[in-house]
Amino acid sequence: MSAEKVREDRLRRMARRQGLRLIKSRTRDHRALDYGAYWLMDDSEQVAHGPVPKGFTLDEVERWLTTDH
Whether pTM exceeds 0.75:
yes
Q: Note the pLDDT tens digit of each residue in 17-51.
A: 999 999 999 999 999 888 999 999 988 877 777 67
- Beta strands (DSSP E) in 1-69 are 21-24, 38-41, 47-49
Residue 13 · residue 22 · CB < 8 Å: no
Report the number of distinct structural domains present in the chain.
Answer: 1
* Calpha distance 35→67 (Å, rounded): 25
Residue-level pLDDT at 15: 95
Q: Which domain holds residue 51?
A: 3-65
CA separation (Å) from 56 to 7, 13, 18, 28, 42? 14, 17, 17, 16, 15
How many Å separate Cα 21 from the centre of its chain? 8
Confidence of residue 67 (pLDDT cuts 50, 70, 90): very high
Q: Note the pLDDT tens digit of each residue in 47-63.
A: 777 677 788 999 999 99
